[in-house]
Amino acid sequence: MDYKNYIKKLNNEFSAVNQAPVFKNKHEKYVSGYRVPSGCAVFGIINEDGQLFDGRMVIDGIAMMHDRSNGLGGGFAAYGIYPQYKNEYAFHVFYDDSIARKEAEIFLHKAFKILYADEIPTQKVKSISSPPIIARYFLRPKNISIELEGFESKNDLNDEIINRAEEEFVASFVSNFNADPGGSYIISSGKNMGIFKGVGYPEDIGEFYKLDDYSAYIWTSHGRFPTNSTGWWGGAHPFGFLNWSVVHNGEISSYGTNKRFVSGFGYKCSFSTDTEVLAYLFDLLVRKHGISLYLINYILAAPFWDDIEILPEDIKEFLKALRIIYGRALVNGPFSIVVGNNNFMYALNDRIKLRPLVAAKKGPLTFVSSEESAIRKVCTNPDAIWNPKGGEPVMVFIKGKEPAVKSGIKIKKENFIESVSSLNSSFAGALE
Amino acid sequence: MGIKQNNKLVDKNFNSTDMSIMPKIKFLEKKCIINADNVDYKTLNYAIRSILKEIDNSQNSDFPSKINKIELDNVLGQRYIGDGIQTRISISIKGTPGNDLAAFMDGPEIEIFGNVQDGTGNTMNSGKIIVHGSAGDILGYSMRGGEIYVKENVGYRSGIHMKSYLEKFPVIVVGGKAGHFLGEYMAGGIIIILGLCNSINPIKSFYLFDDDEVVGNYVGTGMHGGKIFVRGEISNHKLGKEIVKSEINEEDEIIIQKYLDNYYKYFGISNKEDIRLKDFTKLSPFSRRPYGKLYAY
């Protein structure tokens, strides 16, 4: 039998597949072949030793899940990329045109001292068309006024209080700036971190921003398959707010409730996509209300009342209280999210795991991904690979940056109670 | 899976899943080896299908008819492998295949040396899947027939909406543990959970709802047919409202023993004494029509 002829024939057929005309739609703006109904893809890597590595690994990982997205959005968040300006706020801003840029820069100049500004270096990629003007600023807030009530003199103000005041100022600036319909959007506003996103497949966006040139200790990424909102540059993931970045696969059915809840605290939702509300929820709960990260999953993906009912009395009462106080912060609907911040990466599923999430560990590296194959692409032989439960977070801290509540804790119940007491004290502070 | 339709609509913009990489195919006397390294799923499935087509038509052509096995090497994330195939053939996969492996499969035996992802055996009609590792979510979704053996753990919603009719009788055997919603809306067939291995999670999240039980919550919610056999005890709060827990009878013992022996055989396990048949708990539905009276006023 002559197999060679058969293989030759098969290879000819493959070539015919490849010479087939490329599908383009009439606008040529959002070129994609045909669409496989699918979901978004999320991928994240953290090196808990804080060692930096370039963007190649995260691009390879997210590219593995190419077919989960459809070319209408992709993006990356990177932590540790601007060590030379690590104490300044790094703003990445999208401008529709140069007029919008001029107007916006007046505001920026008024509020901030600009230490350095440039356009983010990009390169031409065939599939990425009509990008906005993408500018970058390293900023220090001017004229922070701190109410001296309760302080004897200015000497009583320590760095932490000043930092918090600055954060509050930047938060309200970014919120108001993005709510203004001027054709300019701050997409990233943290320190020593940056968000790179746009309309295209994530691996193409990675090439577009030349992510090989950046080194970070946390990378998160997203391939988008927009369902309820349009695919536009600002609407791609990750969503950033201060140091937070959120990538999300799924949809937030409780968006209306969550949006009204955070708007009561001054957050304005202006990207017409549900995911941004998650960034504000994290900022509100962790930064403003000081809730331990170990408790966030009991608010966002709160356990069912039936599940709470079988717990020991003290924990039961506490979880009930948490659900009642933060009922409107409960994120309903199917989701898997990966949240980045300077000190940690946090991944979470909805409580009944309606979206996929896989995690793996190899030495100091921890991976989270929508599909196992993406992890195996960049890490062929992980030490452990597992499927987190719905509502069970995967949180990895940079060594030495763990929240204080964890220290000296042996048993999980004790840890929980300590978290509770720290929360109670922060509430007590708020109530007084 | 209309391959001809797809030919016209190929997106060449992306760089990593490059359609132009051809799988390297090697024919031996009785088997065919395909190297799937970096091959796009459409190209790979095209290759498998055209080889199977030749085998099916081998009486009429000079194609070697002795081939009864396809070996896929370096598989990583390729979706839809073995979907809808009706040829009696055995396929062995080395690597991690992508979602919807063996969906609508009707006949072949697929052996995977690695883990499988979500949707394995989706609406499978007949055949066999042997996984030397763990499976992701919705294993055996709407399965209508055939057998699935998983050496280690399975994710959420395994065996959701399994059904059986006459000679069509689906079976899932899991060596490890199962996630929540096992056998949700199950209408027929058998699921056996052995609980022999643990999922290893090296990151402490202090999650309050961790437990050591073999199955997750909401077992058999909406179940109205079939049986689930679980080795070990199950807390009552884990059970769906529609099912009842009971001890196994002699008939059940014969069934369990049969599939247990298969499990030992496929995964080469020799120490069989660990498992005693009387340790199994049977879960079955209260009623074949739990919602029959819901809308009858």
Complex ipTM value: 0.89
Predicted confidence at residue A145, as pLDDT, reads: 66
Sorted by where each begins, the domain ranges of chain A are 42-250+337-409
Q: What pLDDT is recorded for position B6?
A: 35
Q: Which residue has the tokens 């717990």?
A: A311
**Any bridge partners for residue A191, and if so which?**
A89
Write down the pLDDT at residue A401: 86
Among B50, B79, B210, the residue with its CB nearest the CB of A67 is B79
CB A299, CB A291: distance < 8 Å: yes
Q: Is the dihedral of CA B239, B241, B246, B252 positive or negative?
A: negative
Which candidate from A3, A373, A388 shows the least CB-CB separation from B98? A373
pLDDT at A413 over 70: no
Q: Active-site residue A40, yes or no? A: yes
Predicted local distance difference test score (pLDDT) of residue B207: 84
Amino acid at A314: D
Kindly determine whether residue A18 and residue B76, on different chains, have CB atoms separated by under 8 Å: no
- Enumerate the H helices of A112-238 as residue ranges: 159-179, 202-208
**For residues A332-352, average pLDDT:** 95
Check whether B128 has a pLDDT greater than 50: yes
As a whole number of angstroms, the longest Cα–Cα distance in chain A is 96
How many whole angstroms separate alpha carbon B204 and alpha carbon B67? 50
Helices (H), A232-371: 255-263, 276-282, 293-300, 305-309, 313-325
Cβ pair A303:B155 closer than 8 A: no
pLDDT at B121: 95
Q: What is the pLDDT of residue A318?
A: 87
Q: Where are the domains of chain B?
A: 133-285
Confidence grade of residue A406 (pLDDT, cut at 50, 70, 90)? very low
* Residue A310 in contact with partner chain B when CB distance is under 8 A: yes
- CA distance to partner chain A, nearest, from residue B67 (Å): 12
Burial class, A363, CB count within 10 angstroms (exposed 0-12 / middle 13-18 / buried 19+): exposed
Which residues in chain B have their CB less than 8 angstroms from residue A306's CB? 237
List A residues 403-422 in contact with B (Cβ-Cβ < 8 A): 409, 412, 415-416
The domain B133-285 belongs to what CATH superfamily?
Glutamate synthase, alpha subunit, C-terminal domain (2.160.20.60)
Chain A: closest CA distance from residue B10 (Å): 5
Q: Write out residues 24-43 of A within 8 Å (CB-CB) of B.
A: 31-34
> CA–CA separation, A269 vs A35, rounded Å?
29
Sheet holding A74-79, edge to edge: A193-198, A74-79, A218-223, A41-47, A365-369, A358-362, A384-386
Beta bridge pairs of residue A44 = A220, A368
List the single range of A26-30, B42-46, B88-92, B166-170 with lowest mean pLDDT.
Answer: A26-30
Using pLDDT thresholds of 50, 70 and 90, give the confidence band for residue B7. very low
Residue A372 to residue B181, Cβ atoms within 8 A: no
Q: Which two tokens stand for residue B155?
A: 């994710």
Query: Which of A21, A126, A361 is nearest residue B203 as measured by Cβ atoms?
Result: A361
Confidence of residue A18 (pLDDT cuts 50, 70, 90): low
Distance CA A237, CA A337 (A): 11
Q: Of A4, A8, A9, A40, which is the active-site residue?
A: A40
Residue written as tokens 């369902």? A227
Listed range (A124-128, A132-136, A364-368) with the worst mean pLDDT: A124-128
pLDDT at B29 over 90: no
How many Cα atoms are found within 13 Å in the side-chain-facing hemisphere of B112?
29
- Give the whole-angstrom CA distance, residue A360 versus residue A378: 11
**Per-residue pLDDT at B166 exceeds 70:** yes
Q: Is it the case that residue A232 has pLDDT exceeding 70? A: yes
pLDDT band for B65, please (50, 70, 90 cuts): low
Q: Is B6's CB within 8 Å of A34's CB? A: yes
Q: Is the pLDDT of residue B103 over 90?
A: yes
Point out the residue among B97, B180, B200 whose CB comes nearest to the CB of A352. B180
Closest listed residue to residue A217, CA positions, set A7, A398, A12, A52: A52
Instruction: Give the per-residue pLDDT at A90.
Output: 97
Greatest mean pLDDT range, A175-184, A241-250, B20-29: A241-250
d(CA A295, CA A417): 11
A413: which residues sit within 8 A by CB, 6+ positions away?
A312, A315
Give the contacts of B112 (CB within 8 A, at least 6 positions apart): B92, B93, B97, B101, B129, B130, B131, B132, B133
Whether domain A42-250+337-409 has CATH 1.10.10.10: no
Strand A74-79 to A193-198 pairing: antiparallel
Asked if the model's pLDDT at residue A221 lies above 70, the reply is yes
Residue of chain B minimizing CA distance to A361: B202
Q: Tell me the chain A residues in contact with residue B204 when contact means C-beta distances shorter than 8 Å.
A: 412
Residue A148 has pLDDT above 70, yes or no: no
For residue A336, pLDDT beyond 80? yes
Q: What is the mean pLDDT of chain A?
A: 85
pLDDT in tens, B238-273: 999 889 999 999 999 999 999 999 999 999 988 776
Mean pLDDT score, B61-82 = 85
